[in-house]
Chains A and B, each alone.
Chain A
Amino acid sequence: MDTEPKFFETNPTAGVVGQPLNRVDGRDKVMGRARYSAEFNNLPGLVHAVLKTSDVAKGRITGFDTTAAMKQPGVLAIITHQNLPKLAKTPNDAEGKKAIGAPMGYLPLTDDQIHYAGQPVAVVVADTLERAQYAAALLKVQVAAEKPLASYEDPRAQLFDPTKIQDGKAQAHVVRGNAQAAFAAAPIQLTHKYTHATNHHNPMEPGATTAHWEAPDRLTVYESTQGVTRTQKALSTMLGLATEQVRVVTKYLGGGFGCKGSCWPHTILTVQAAKFVGRPVKLALTRPQMFTSMGHREDQTQTLRLGATKEGKLTALIHEKTSTTSPWDNYAESNSKIVNMLYECPNFEASYQLARANVMTSTFTRAPGEAPGSFAIESSMDDLAYQLGIDPVEIRLLNYAEKDSSTGQPWSSKSLKQCYARGAELFGWSKRNPKAGATRNGRLLVGWGMATASYPVHNSQGTARARLYADGHAVVQSGATDLGTGTYTVMTQVAADALGLPVEKVRFELGDTKLPTAPNSGGSVAAGTVSSSVYMAVQDLWQKLIKVAVLDKKSPLYRAKLTDVEAKQGRLQLKADPKKGEDFAALMKRADMADVEGNGQGRYGSGYEDAQAAANADPAKKDEAAHHSMHSFGAHFCEVQVDPDLGTVRVTRWVSVHGAGRILNAKTARSQIIGGSVFGIGAALMEGTVRDQNLARYTNASLADYHIPVNADIPDMTVEFIEEHDPYINAMGVKGIGEISTVGVAAAVANAVFHATGKRVRELPITPDKILGTKSV
């Protein structure tokens, strides 16, 4: 195929794409027919596993007393490091970890060491869940405990320079220009520390695994994961099986937020338990176990030094981050990336410091790096605005980045100015009193704040398969995951439009390694990559039908040149003379075709393919193929009311406007932005897991004590999108919105709190204890 058609070319007046279609899986979910990974209960001989976890955070297991537990009726096995079936590979060495793609360089039950509180020390299997739980309670673990280290804040903690962070994926040191000299010379110098509490993802559905060995070399796992392919790779590598010998299924997911983006220890332990007892085994993590099983956002302090001219132009940004990591891995969210690219600034420097502590490895958490990083830069930009008496929106426009400062590349598309303008208009920003602490509603202090949001479009490829039946039905498949945010729905819409069929005639299937491979649903890539894959699969299918048509004497397209024919809304026709053509059904009937199948690959940066071809043919056109920096942008506007006596902060108004490429479904997109904003408000005002500094164990590992927002915390939210056409990112022009909605939220809230009270809180979450003392502003 030469030049590939783009969605906007084949669908100038796209039918259902973008429309606020109800979720196609909504009815199955509310009727209880949608089966999640812990609900495959009709597997023959299914039994139940529970994890026994460590009370202490550091020590050595000296023995087990299994007598009482094993005596209980229905107990099938107690699996410990002494009898865990041997694995071909573990993540305990660097090579194994890399091959597996493991998020943590240690697999519990591979030795007698205890490295963190909540670490699994045994798996108890019984015929019922209750019996497994009871036996686990009776199992006695003898431990020689040692004094643990809880975090980088412990005076005993040894800080080190990791050189690389995010598991080696990102450089810890970034230097652009000469930030130190520029900062020293800057007339305006701001130096501030920002701390972020440990946060846990806590999706509604806990981590859950159902493992079924159908044969010694054939394993099926129903897994609560954001990526069946990544899980398949991890499990097959650890087990020494060929990839295809492991099937992973995730039909529905009850949220993930990043904690289900990797294959964590409980999954392989369940698989090994199933092998041990020779029966299918199910394990669902308890809510307290969710705090020590699937990673978290690490506790961290950022120091941001900002240098600017007296007019408010940035001249230097120096970002340092210190955070806690596990005994094995150098994981830290890359906060500095957003600090480096959000504004025009000629000098930048970033560095990271880590301390090893007795905690499990942290992991990506919705907008990893961008969320806490934006809290730092967007709070400091607010400081700068107040210090110079410039409106917060104006200071951002003054430093507006016409290109990406961090790479020098132009943007593939950027609607940030429209986001500011529309957001300000919807919010009524022009009525803002520039003075902090000057607006009251009775006894309450009222504050307005805003912040910029940005999130990159990550490189990602995927595949899909589309099968169109002569009767006008279609099945479209891709091994993607729907986190609950609407993937089933939006892909049905894309396929329906590409096929020219009503949505009712299209079924979209996902969540199975038997289907064409799709990327992890993480990093906001699913919508763009999978929709492009679906679209390309349908184009492939049309090409097959066009080839049949031009050879069919009875077709109006007989003998037409392949490249002269196009498919539009289910009709094959001449580009030059659209009247000349026919519907696919007529052609397929004549050709006695029951169905036709197409395969497609959604490619990141596919918009460069034409330009690249042109540049290859003509060196003078080289610049046209130069790549762009690809990001979504947005702006949040927030009103808070602060009780100066009681220290409570309530968000009372919220406006978010984003430019994120093509929006596939206005309803699910709005919901996702609301969800991400609520996620950010949680981090801003109440979320924080507390690790006892002496015992390195969480003191609030429950949803009663780890507070997330309830309905009463959240006002009506206004969400809009700026219509944006990005020709470069992928065939659908979709950027993805899973994470940008969280970026900047904490800063918008903190900035509103400052405007209300005159007190700058740089420590998240902003709980009443941090507000008290604001009375005398």
Chain B
Amino acid sequence: MNNFSYIQANSAKEATGIRQATPQAAYIAGGTTLLDLMKAHLAEHPQLVDINALPFKGIEQTSDGLRIGAMERMSDVGEHPLVLQQYPAVSESLLLAASPQLRNMASIGGNILQRTRCGYFRDAAFPCNKRVPGSGCPALEGDNHNLAILGTSDACIATAYPGDLSVALAALDAVLTLENAKGKQRRVPVTEFYVLPGKTPQRETVLEPGELIVAVTIPAAAHARRSTYLKVRERASYAYALASAAVGLDVQGGIIRSARVALGGVGTKPWRSPEAEKVLTGAPATEATFRAAAAAALRGAQPRDDNRFKVELAQNTLVQALLKVA
């Protein structure tokens, strides 16, 4: 790790001001992602701006839904009664992630911004278009067993967001509140926050330089109360998903009134599937419907040599998740 200076910001204004003065500076909250990246020379910042003292706290009911401060910790949010009752998929996505120690440190904002686990990105000795634009993507013809099959491009097939929370947030129409150096706030749905790699895989979100994540708001809904997050991984705990599904259903009289579906571990971003939701909405809540929805969700998949299994795995994961809340 290279030397860096450290400063604690006491307000959003102060934090964004420092970032404006030193564009290469980075915000640090829990540090569970950033320090790893810096130690491996995947990110180099001359200055870290500690935002832990910022007032982006609280888990509260608002007219727009449940508002969660970006500085809340994964463990606190995952175990919060309102989250457990109203958004089980969110709670499960948080508590199935990482380890207790990491969940106690990692902030919600930081989780949303975590970087890919693609082995080629994580080792600076490899070429990687995401890390060094134009250097190439050895994953295309290399080890791609846990890389994306949806939303890929010739430049990048990484699951840019490897985690769990944003998959649940994407499914349940969560909206991020962002704040820039001028103190101006804007609201961006999670589904629009992440961008596809295309020719510019180095750009992963619509976050502007210096902009902070203030909060995430999840609207209340019947399908949110009846939601779940299913995660498949190579060991029972402490591993990233090979495939995951966040689903929510509102079923009345055996008919699905509304449905929410997002997949993790298979897309270059948290993969909301309107195609699957279209199949589900208005259809009977049966396994046959769920299978049809799963097929629709994976219709555009572009698997490669090592990750071909994910087409079937993702469909099965989605079906099992739907069966759980049917």
A interface with B by C-beta (< 8 Å): 55-56, 117, 130, 133-134, 137, 288, 645-648, 650, 685-686, 690, 692-695, 697-702, 704-705, 707, 709-713, 767-769, 772-773
* Interface pair A712/B237, CB less than 8 Å apart: yes
* Interface pair A646/B1, CB less than 8 Å apart: no
Cα–Cα distance between A772 and B236 once the two chains are bound (Å): 17
> Which residues of A lie under 8 Å from residue B319 when comparing CB positions?
645
* Interface pair A694/B138, CB less than 8 Å apart: yes
Query: When the two chains form the complex, which single residue of A137, A647, A712, A769 contacts B145, counting CB atoms closer than 8 Å?
Result: A769
Query: When the two chains form the complex, which single residue of A56, A699, A707, A713 contacts B142, counting CB atoms closer than 8 Å?
Result: A699
Interface stretch of the complex, out of B169-177, B214-222, B310-318:
B310-318
6 contacts between A and B (CB under 8 A): A55-B124, A646-B316, A695-B138, A705-B117, A705-B119, A772-B316
* Interface pair A769/B123, CB less than 8 Å apart: no
> Which residues of B lie under 8 Å from residue A647 when comparing CB positions?
232, 309, 313
What are the 8 A-B residue pairs with the smallest beta carbon separation, nearest first? Answer: A699-B119, A55-B125, A712-B236, A769-B309, A645-B316, A712-B237, A699-B143, A692-B142
Cα–Cα distance between A555 and B237 once the two chains are bound (Å): 68
> Which residues of A lie under 8 Å from residue B126 when comparing CB positions?
692, 695, 697, 699
Query: When the two chains form the complex, which single residue of B123, B143, B309 contacts A768, counting CB atoms closer than 8 Å?
Result: B309
Cα–Cα distance between A647 and B309 once the two chains are bound (Å): 10
Cα–Cα distance between A697 and B127 once the two chains are bound (Å): 12
B229 sits at the interface (CB 8 A): no
* Interface pair B235/A699, CB less than 8 Å apart: no
Query: When the two chains form the complex, which single residue of A56, A646, A692, A710 contacts B313, counting CB atoms closer than 8 Å?
Result: A646
Known interface pairs A645-B320, A699-B119, A772-B313. Does A713 touch B236 (Cβ–Cβ under 8 Å)? yes
Cα–Cα distance between A18 and B317 once the two chains are bound (Å): 49
Cα–Cα distance between A56 and B238 once the two chains are bound (Å): 30
Query: When the two chains form the complex, which single residue of A130, A650, A700 contacts B119, counting CB atoms closer than 8 Å?
Result: A700
Q: Which of B56-110 contact A (CB under 8 A)?
A: none
Q: Nearest CB to that of B243 among chain A residues? A: A646
Cα–Cα distance between A107 and B225 once the two chains are bound (Å): 62
Q: Report the minimum CB–CB distance from B81 to chain A (whole Å).
A: 25
Q: Which of B117-144 contact A (CB under 8 A)?
A: 117, 119-120, 122-126, 138, 141-143
Q: Nearest CB to that of A72 among chain B residues? A: B3
* Interface pair B142/A695, CB less than 8 Å apart: yes
Q: Which of B16-42 contact A (CB under 8 A)?
A: 40-41
Query: When the two chains form the complex, which single residue of B2, B122, B138, B242 contacts A705, counting CB atoms closer than 8 Å?
Result: B122
> Which residues of A lie under 8 Å from residue B325 when comparing CB positions?
none
Besides A134-B2, A710-B238, 15 new A-B residue pairs in contact (Cβ under 8 A), listed by A number = A134-B1, A646-B316, A647-B313, A650-B236, A685-B235, A690-B119, A690-B145, A692-B143, A694-B142, A698-B119, A699-B120, A699-B143, A705-B119, A709-B235, A768-B313
> Which residues of A lie under 8 Å from residue B313 when comparing CB positions?
646-647, 768-769, 772
B208 sits at the interface (CB 8 A): no
Cα–Cα distance between A712 and B41 once the two chains are bound (Å): 32
* Interface pair B232/A773, CB less than 8 Å apart: no
**Max chain B CB contacts within 10 Å: which of A645, A685, A709, A710?**
A645
Q: Report the minimum CB–CB distance from B117 to chain A (whole Å).
A: 7
Cα–Cα distance between A650 and B236 once the two chains are bound (Å): 8
B interface with A by C-beta (< 8 Å): 1-3, 40-41, 117, 119-120, 122-126, 138, 141-143, 145, 232-239, 242, 306, 309, 312-313, 316-317, 319-320
> Which residues of A lie under 8 Å from residue B124 when comparing CB positions?
55
Q: Report the minimum CB–CB distance from A324 to chain B (whole Å).
A: 16
> Which residues of A lie under 8 Å from residue B234 when comparing CB positions?
685-686, 707, 767-768
Q: Nearest CB to that of A714 among chain B residues? A: B236
Cα–Cα distance between A699 and B120 once the two chains are bound (Å): 6
* Interface pair B232/A692, CB less than 8 Å apart: no
> Which residues of B lie under 8 Å from residue A767 when comparing CB positions?
234
Cα–Cα distance between A690 and B144 once the two chains are bound (Å): 10
* Interface pair B320/A133, CB less than 8 Å apart: no
**Max chain B CB contacts within 10 Å: which of A130, A699, A713?**
A699
> Which residues of B lie under 8 Å from residue A695 when comparing CB positions?
126, 138, 142
Cα–Cα distance between A645 and B294 once the two chains are bound (Å): 13
Cα–Cα distance between A71 and B183 once the two chains are bound (Å): 42
Known interface pairs A697-B126, A769-B309. Does A710 touch B235 (Cβ–Cβ under 8 Å)? yes
Chain B binding surface, main DSSP class = loop
**Max chain B CB contacts within 10 Å: which of A685, A698, A704?**
A704
* Interface pair A690/B236, CB less than 8 Å apart: no
Known interface pairs A55-B125, A137-B2, A772-B312. Does A686 touch B119 (Cβ–Cβ under 8 Å)? no
* Interface pair A646/B123, CB less than 8 Å apart: no
* Interface pair B125/A117, CB less than 8 Å apart: yes
* Interface pair A690/B143, CB less than 8 Å apart: yes
> Which residues of B lie under 8 Å from residue A646 when comparing CB positions?
232, 313, 316-317, 320
Cα–Cα distance between A773 and B313 once the two chains are bound (Å): 10
Cα–Cα distance between A4 and B65 once the two chains are bound (Å): 83
Query: When the two chains form the complex, which single residue of A701, A772, A773 contacts B123, counting CB atoms closer than 8 Å?
Result: A701
> Which residues of B lie under 8 Å from residue A711 when comparing CB positions?
237
> Which residues of A lie under 8 Å from residue B125 when comparing CB positions?
55-56, 117, 697
Q: Report the minimum CB–CB distance from A278 to chain B (whole Å).
A: 27
> Which residues of B lie under 8 Å from residue A694 when comparing CB positions?
138, 141-142
> Which residues of A lie under 8 Å from residue B238 when comparing CB positions?
710, 712
> Which residues of B lie under 8 Å from residue A134 when comparing CB positions?
1-3
Q: Report the minimum CB–CB distance from B32 to chain A (whole Å).
A: 11
Q: Nearest CB to that of B312 among chain A residues? A: A772
* Interface pair A710/B123, CB less than 8 Å apart: no
> Which residues of B lie under 8 Å from residue A288 when comparing CB positions?
40, 123
Q: Report the minimum CB–CB distance from B306 to chain A (whole Å).
A: 8
Known interface pairs A700-B119, A769-B145. Does A710 touch B309 (Cβ–Cβ under 8 Å)? no
Q: Report the minimum CB–CB distance from B225 to chain A (whole Å).
A: 25
Cα–Cα distance between A713 and B145 once the two chains are bound (Å): 21
Query: When the two chains form the complex, which single residue of B117, B142, B306 contacts A704, counting CB atoms closer than 8 Å?
Result: B117
Cα–Cα distance between A697 and B239 once the two chains are bound (Å): 22
**Max chain A CB contacts within 10 Å: which of B120, B123, B317?**
B123
Q: Report the minimum CB–CB distance from A55 to chain B (whole Å).
A: 4
Cα–Cα distance between A55 and B141 once the two chains are bound (Å): 19
> Which residues of B lie under 8 Å from residue A704 when comparing CB positions?
117
Cα–Cα distance between A117 and B120 once the two chains are bound (Å): 14
Cα–Cα distance between A707 and B239 once the two chains are bound (Å): 8
Q: Report the minimum CB–CB distance from A695 to chain B (whole Å).
A: 6
> Which residues of A lie under 8 Å from residue B41 when comparing CB positions?
137
> Which residues of A lie under 8 Å from residue B123 when comparing CB positions?
288, 697, 699, 701
Cα–Cα distance between A647 and B241 once the two chains are bound (Å): 13
> Which residues of A lie under 8 Å from residue B119 when comparing CB positions?
690, 698-700, 705
Cα–Cα distance between A710 and B122 once the two chains are bound (Å): 22
Q: Nearest CB to that of B320 among chain A residues? A: A645
Q: Report the minimum CB–CB distance from A710 to chain B (whole Å).
A: 5
Q: Nearest CB to that of A56 among chain B residues? A: B125
Q: Report the minimum CB–CB distance from B187 to chain A (whole Å).
A: 33
Known interface pairs A647-B309, A647-B313, A697-B125. Does A133 touch B1 (Cβ–Cβ under 8 Å)? yes
* Interface pair A710/B236, CB less than 8 Å apart: yes
Q: Report the minimum CB–CB distance from B122 to chain A (whole Å).
A: 7
> Which residues of B lie under 8 Å from residue A55 when comparing CB positions?
124-125
Q: Report the minimum CB–CB distance from B123 to chain A (whole Å).
A: 7
> Which residues of A lie under 8 Å from residue B40 when comparing CB positions?
288
Q: Nearest CB to that of B323 among chain A residues? A: A443
Q: Report the minimum CB–CB distance from B103 to chain A (whole Å).
A: 15
Query: When the two chains form the complex, which single residue of B1, B142, B239, B309 contacts A772, counting CB atoms closer than 8 Å?
Result: B309
Q: Report the minimum CB–CB distance from A753 to chain B (whole Å).
A: 15
Q: Nearest CB to that of A695 among chain B residues? A: B138
Q: Report the minimum CB–CB distance from A275 to chain B (whole Å).
A: 28
Q: Nearest CB to that of B44 among chain A residues? A: A137
> Which residues of A lie under 8 Å from residue B138 when comparing CB positions?
692, 694-695
Cα–Cα distance between A707 and B119 once the two chains are bound (Å): 13
> Which residues of A lie under 8 Å from residue B320 when comparing CB positions?
645-646
Cα–Cα distance between A156 and B7 once the two chains are bound (Å): 54
Cα–Cα distance between A704 and B118 once the two chains are bound (Å): 11
Q: Report the minimum CB–CB distance from B4 to chain A (whole Å).
A: 11
Q: Report the minimum CB–CB distance from A671 to chain B (whole Å).
A: 21
